[in-house]
Amino acid sequence: MYLPGIVAKEIRPGWVSLDIPPLEKWEEPFRWLAPQQRERIESSEFYELLQREIPKRLLSLPDG
């Protein structure tokens, strides 16, 4: 599922800044989810996962 509006920027080498929109921006994609899936995305654990995984993936990309 695509959750639009998440922006990750490397503000200096090794430091990543995340901008995550409010849940209301994801209203359309949420319509396709089961209630349990929506609950997981609304949880603090989901945001902790984003904070951990997005920078890791961004920093692992080859310079281009």
Greater confidence (64 vs 62) lies with 62
Sign of the torsion angle spanned by Cα atoms 6, 17, 47, 44:
negative
Which tens digit of pLDDT belongs to each residue from 34-60? 999 999 999 999 999 999 999 999 999
Pairing of strands 15-19, 7-12: antiparallel
Give residue-wise pLDDT tens across range 1-25.
Answer: 788 999 999 999 999 999 999 999 9
pLDDT for the residue 7: 95
Read out DSSP for 14-64? TEEEEE---GGGGHHHHTTS-HHHHHHHTSHHHHHHHHHHHHHHHHHSPP-
